Amino acid sequence: MEEEDEDGSIESLLRWASHIGISDASTTTHHSLSLGSSLFVSHFPHSGGRGLAAVRDLRMGELILRVPKSALMTTHSVMQHTNLSQALNRHPSLSSTQVDEAIWVTEKAVLKTKSDWQQAHALMEDLKFKPRLLTFKAWVWASATISSRTLHIPWDSAGCLCPVGDLFNYDAPGKEPSDIGDLEDLLSSSSIHDGSLSNEDNTTVADAEQLDSQSQRLTDGGFEEDANAYCFYARANYNKGDQVLLCYGTYTNLELLEHYGFILQENPNDKVFIPLEPAVYSSTSWSRESLYIHYNGKPSFALLAALRLWATPQIKRRSVAHLVYSGSKISADNENFIMKWLLKTCHGVLKNLPTSIEDDTLLLNAMDNSQDFCTFLEVTKLMSLRDEVDTFLEAHNMKDKCSDSSIVLSRKTRWSMDKWKLSIQWRINYKKVLLDCISYCSQILDSLVE
């Protein structure tokens, strides 16, 4: 029943979208859950949930969605509403919401969201919001919607909400065209079809211009003045039925979880920061944000360089700086020292965490493989993470219902379990990076012995 209601809501959304001019490059009218002849709404349970799929084969660089400027929700368009504009003028101290990045990002986000809600409460009362819209729960939903769906536009630093365009799920940034082979692939996927040939390579002037435009386009969408619309382009070749993805930018898994509510199992932009000696920071001019471990366990260039300088007596650093900044090893002894230090530090971080990767994996498997909640409780009875399970039960007033075999989880509880599962997935990935770094350091140490 819920799926039927959701399909009905999506169909109403797309009907409205078509009416106000949101479409793909064609003039085909949408049918049911499709929009034009390029995209349709589908569900991808293992990769982002609800998203957009290809109606037909799509080629990289092809225009697949155009949202006119009049459909975008911006601070300018909202301020056209007289009552809202007047109310905002009466509450000038309000500012846009943005959560500062920090290790304790969850606690910071909660505190910041509550603070923003309290500041905005007077404005919402002034606008005569209904009581249910004044609640903290409603504010969390609204702020999360803005945080996760806002797109960049050049004329408004607050960005915009883009109907239908916000249905694209995320794909991490890929390799930019950097060699002849990449450029030839990009050219062969061009959506320009001009029959007039201009040279021996069968490359038309129009194709060359399109190629240059696509190679310069570092994102998959943006506002285009000449079209007076927000335009989206296929970031890759898609077969009919494939999910069509959009790159929002470069994010770590923690940032994706904070702003969008999901993580990637293989995120090439993920990174882990480890505690460093204060002298490490002072030994280099690189920023702290550049001193991290890559998702594959390898230390960043800046981290390796900083550690190599730190492990060098200060009086000798100037003489070896050229080696460090070129990415070269200073000496076998220097490399041996920093690899042992990295290995020991990663071990220390793992040891001080409240759970092990084995514990997390067992709990996640119990969530995935239990057919019902009672089975899950039975499986987790003897786990070392039982305290975590009990905390979840107490938070949802289910501690005394564990023996009830007919227990049915509420929608709120199921939603909380999904979030709990995401947190476990994140910490497993975090620990994998540290373990991979330990493995990397061990391999380097073995090679130094040979």
pLDDT, tens digit (0-9, with 9 covering 90-100), for 189-206:
333 333 333 333 443 444
- For residue 29, pLDDT beyond 70: no
**What does the alpha-carbon distance between residue 60 and residue 79 come to, in Å, rounded to a whole number?**
37
d(CA 139, CA 114): 9
Residue with tokens 């939903």: 141
Distance, CA of 116 to CA of 140 (rounded, Å): 10
Would you state the pLDDT for residue 179? 37
> Domain residues of the chain, as ranges?
75-158, 270-450
How far is it, in rounded angstroms, from Cα 376 to Cα 381?
A: 9
For residues 4-12, average pLDDT: 70
DSSP code, position 235: S
Indicate whether 300 pLDDT > 70: yes
Please give the residue that has the higher pLDDT: either 86 or 307: 307
pTM: 0.71
Mean pLDDT of all residues in 138-162: 83
Q: Look up the CATH number of domain 270-450.
A: 3.90.1420.10
> Which among 136, 150, 138 is positioned nearest to 96, based on CA atoms?
150
Backbone angles phi, psi at 282, to 5 degrees: -80, -10
Token pair of 41, please? 């709404």
Q: Check the CA dihedral 330-335-336-340 and report its sign.
A: positive
Confidence (pLDDT) at 180: 35
State how beta strands 243-246 and 169-170 pair: parallel
Span 102-114, mean pLDDT? 64
What does the alpha-carbon distance between residue 403 and residue 381 come to, in Å, rounded to a whole number?
12
Q: How close are the terminal C-alpha atoms of the chain, in Å?
A: 66
pLDDT for 5: 56
